[in-house]
Structure 1
Amino acid sequence: MSSSRVSSRRGNSGSTDSQPADSSPTDMPAFSAKRRQSKPLIVDDYGDDDDSVLYIPRKVSIVAATSYIAGGIIGAGIFVSPKGVLSGAGSVGLSIILWTACGIFSYTGAIAYAELGLRFPKSGGAYIYLRESMGNLMGFLYLWIELIVRRPLMGAIGCLTFAKYVIQPAFGNCLRIPYASERLVAAATFCILTYLNCLKVKWGSNFQVVTTACKLTALVIIIVAGFINIAEGDVENFTKPFEGTSNNIGDIALGAYAGLYAYSGWDYLNFVTEELKDHRRTLPVAIFLGLTISTVVYLLTNIAYHAVLTPQEILQVDAVAVAFADRELGRIYWTIPVFVAISVIGAQNVGVFTSSRTFYASAREKEFPPCLALLNIKRLTPQPALIFNCMLTLPMFFVSDLQSLIQYYGFIRWGSLGLPVLGLIWLRWKERRMGPMNDTTDTVRYPVFFSIFFVVTCVLVLGVSFYAQPIANLIGLGVCLLGIPLYFFAMNVSKRRGKVKRWSDMLTLFCQKLLNCAFCEEVNFDDLSDGFDIYGVYDAYN
């Protein structure tokens, strides 16, 4: 992309070319020396070059995008959740129906999020959608509860699970792994994932493809072993599939809740829309491919579980896949725990990737300090946002009882998924009354029925969550509402331009010098025809 081409576009849009060349550098944050000149900082994919502007390149192919969806969904859930689903259903037949229903419900949400991603083609996911449809306050509350509270907790829990699988063989038959060893290995794992994503987008994508292939390999081993048993005539668990079915609606709802937990992750690609190659095609196709792969694999895996293990055996163990391996795989039983560990680490890689992009997007929208919107000019990755996400997560590794903390925020997951879709319904209603907005005339519109069904089901899921843990969910709701005074405090502080701005500029300059970073340029998304879009914050902070 030539610099003259970009400059002409930026001049037409009233961007930095329209500013006087002798504007004072003291009016800007502390950018690099090149940035203080009227000429913008120029870099390309590999480093300094006067023929390109700074941007996050579109490096995520449709294969990598599909692996992010499938890898985000297929985490530790399929290896442990069958117990929760069967416990609520009471029978093999109803548990299979619940797994299917959870997959169909996920499809309705995925359809709505595909439309949201095409309507608002920015990275940031639900944060951007809530800001655009419901205002800045809702976007800030999402950042507060999802990224500052829930995601660090989930990241710590996932890495601790990985650490247990990795270091347990070193301690043999010891009943308890030393506390320090477990926490240090988990913290080191999260730091390594952060470092990997700091190096290059493509490296993180390739790592995700490998981990997704490993977890699918583990599940294929389970499926093949289970169906061999069925072919040999071991079908006694399917002769009376609905025997013992629960008559308690509350128990069935809790079983469905466990199944929905295993399907979580289909929205991750919306957090990195700007980094997808040909996002108008890749986003919907990858979402549906990844979700289809996950749903089919989940159904076949559960059938394989029930072909080998009785319902009573499944209910007596925590790790169903490990019990299956002990029974069926003989000497290679150890491969399943290894694949479970890889599955967990792959899911955590998706979390690191998407969380950092949301911090990056929030900094561009002035919700967070501008230093988080910097890009490394060599690697073209948002390194300050990645490091900030790591700094939020590391203290969680030294909290003694993380599981008791995460229960307070379980219902936040469904609120943060349902509210953007509710905002989509609101926008569709406004467009029906006042006509489509100029920038959404070419947006793909899926039937609104799917969005309405998804929102109604999210409300029901929230009701089940409060039914199961009323006190914990009320505490979590209170923590969420604490974000309201924090929002107005932050807005009040941001209006005081004196000392706060000086400290912000000093932090920005420090990050630029330490990490070799700069702000990316701002070019109209619709003007680009070569597969790149460039959203920047340079003008926003002038």
Structure 2
Amino acid sequence: MGSRETSSLTETGKIHLKRELGLISAVSMIAGTMIGSGIFMSPQWVLYHMGSPGASLLIWAACGLLAMLGALSYAELGTVIRESGGEYIYILRNVGSLPAFLLAYTSVIVVRPASIAGITLSFAEYVVAAFFPDCSSPQVIIKCSAAACILVLGIINCLNVKLSMSIMNFFTAAKLVVLLVIVVGGIVLLAKGNTQVLQNAFENTATGFGPVGVAFYQGLWSYDGWNNLNYMTEELKNPEVNLPRAVMIAIPLVTCIYLLVNVSYFAAMTPQELLASDAVAISWGLKVLGTWTWIISLGVALSTFGSANGTFFSGGRVCYVAAREGHLPDALSMAHVNRLTPSPALIFTSAISLIMIIPGDFSSIVNFFSFTAWLFYGITISGLIYIKIKKPDIPRPYKVPIIIPVIVLIASVFLVLAPIIGSPQLEYLYVVLFILSGIIIYIPVVRYKWSPGWFHSITLHLQLLLQVAPTDKNN
């Protein structure tokens, strides 16, 4: 530990996380988390729900625009409330304790671990497929590989923030190279006249509330991570400048790449071939690269691993901040005294993610994650609109026109209601009941601060075992 951290520890008995993320790491954290399994697995699902290449491309562009508007709104929140924790801390400060607790409860126990499980299962499918070229991969091996990926990421993130970000930067560069290969391949195909799919591009387009909503879910899964930087504001250098700047660089870059990659897929394959594919990027590689398809397989593995690392990094921070605010057990709010990483929160996130792998199914994980996430995004954006109207004099290093969060709020309401109205399923009721079940825990534990004596004893033992101490917020 440096002198600043040592002094902080000896004088107050508390430590804090270091500000180690610069602009390049910030852009890498957003782009590297966004570009994961989605662009390699979601295109056929977007096409399946929308029915035509043209409508699919419109969905991908609209998802990018929505992610950009959402991220710009979050950038204002992040410069007004300069604390880590993303939606959780914004809802806590702007809306209230109970909604914030319900978010933490849902996010820490289900949403973030489900997201990590979904990405690592995608990683495992691509890696394991290389060893079973002539038959489908055994599920046991896929799930064991995903579990190994989670354990490796847990160890990396517990060891060192700089190590985690160096890995993030490397994997982001690697996945951009692979996506560039797909883009260039598509340009070559188009130049050779492979434009038949883009003629009559909107033929057979599906319409209706439900299909469009579910197609958005699949597209937005690929853009998930647009708000990742807000989870680690206290570790970002000069956040009032670097937060909005990183958003403005990363999200347009990713949106352009996604659109060009989808055009390349459509240039190489008919809609029927694309729908029949289990792994769109590999099918594209077989048609365009032939024996060099292994480059795509390697790229997808690197991409999903890097994205899982970013999701893991931010997911641990939500758990850590919620515990620091008294909404989760104290042990989860502590950081390692030497490494200055929130290791208890990261270990807890790893454990829940490993459990999520057992019943894991990619498509259902995406739909469940998106429904819950957009419910809380809508609540967060409502808080921003409230402070823009009621507290216009709060100092804001960066601000957006009020129309932007209003559009994001309308989109959030649509994304929450669309699947329920368009294709009602009992699972959505279970999700809502699970979220509301948090009230049963909130009333005794948070509202009335009930804590059995043995709980304090366990916390002390965990402190000694994990070498962690309570933390203070960064200034």
2:64 corresponds to which of 103, 111, 135: 103
Can you give the 5+ residue segments of structure 2 that lack an aligned partner in the other structure? Answer: none
Separation of aligned partners in 2, 1:122 and 1:183: 36
Q: How far 1:40 moved relative to its partner?
A: 3.7
Say if 2:405 is the partner of 1:451.
Answer: yes
Q: Which amino acid aligns with 1:199?
A: L
2:74 maps to what in 1? 113
Separation of aligned partners in 2, 1:349 and 1:172: 27
Q: How far 1:173 moved relative to its partner?
A: 3.0
1:393 maps to what in 2? 353
2:42 maps to what in 1? 81
Percentage identity across aligned positions?
Answer: 34
SS in 2 for 1:333: helix
Separation of aligned partners in 2, 1:186 and 1:247: 37
Please give the TM-score of this superposition, normalised by the length of structure 1. Answer: 0.82
Change (3 A) 1:340 1:366: same
Q: How far 1:156 moved relative to its partner?
A: 2.0
1:240-275 per-residue CA deviation (whole Å, 9 max, x = no partner) reads: 333333354543443333222222210111000010
2:335–2:468 contact (8 Å) kept in structure 1: yes
1:160–1:186 contact (8 Å) kept in structure 2: yes
2:117–2:360 contact (8 Å) kept in structure 1: no
SS in 2 for 1:145: helix
Q: How far 1:299 moved relative to its partner?
A: 1.0
1:103-156 per-residue CA deviation (whole Å, 9 max, x = no partner) reads: 111111111111111111111110001101111101110011122112222222
1:441 maps to what in 2? 395
Deviation larger for 336-345 or 162-171: 162-171
2:29 maps to what in 1? 68
2:309 maps to what in 1? 349
Change (3 A) 1:117 1:326: same
2:443 corresponds to which of 488, 491, 495: 488
Structure possessing the higher relative contact order (Cα contacts under 8 Å, 6 or more residues apart): 2
Change (3 A) 1:388 1:245: closer
Please give the TM-score of this superposition, normalised by the length of structure 2. Answer: 0.92
1:149 maps to what in 2? 110
1:272-311 per-residue CA deviation (whole Å, 9 max, x = no partner) reads: 0010111111111112211111101011111111211122
Q: Could you say which structure has the larger radius of gyration? A: 1
2:217–2:366 contact (8 Å) kept in structure 1: no
Q: How far 1:184 moved relative to its partner?
A: 2.5
Separation of aligned partners in 2, 1:169 and 1:210: 23
Separation of aligned partners in 2, 1:178 and 1:102: 32
Q: How far 1:2 moved relative to its partner?
A: 7.4
1:474 corresponds to which of 416, 425, 429: 429
Q: How far 1:508 moved relative to its partner?
A: 3.2
SS in 1 for 2:130: helix
Separation of aligned partners in 2, 1:384 and 1:488: 25
2:326–2:446 contact (8 Å) kept in structure 1: no
Q: How many residues align?
A: 472
2:320–2:333 contact (8 Å) kept in structure 1: yes
1:44 maps to what in 2? none
2:253 corresponds to which of 293, 304, 320: 293
Q: How far 1:456 moved relative to its partner?
A: 0.6
Change (3 A) 1:186 1:513: same
1:231 maps to what in 2? 191
Change (3 A) 1:246 1:515: closer
2:280 maps to what in 1? 320
The alignment yields a C-alpha RMSD, in angstroms, of 2.4
SS in 2 for 1:229: helix
Change (3 A) 1:131 1:249: closer
Can you give the 5+ residue segments of structure 1 that lack an aligned partner in the other structure? Answer: 8-33, 42-52, 523-532, 535-542
1:35-81 per-residue CA deviation (whole Å, 9 max, x = no partner) reads: 6xxx445xxxxxxxxxxx83211111111111111111111111122
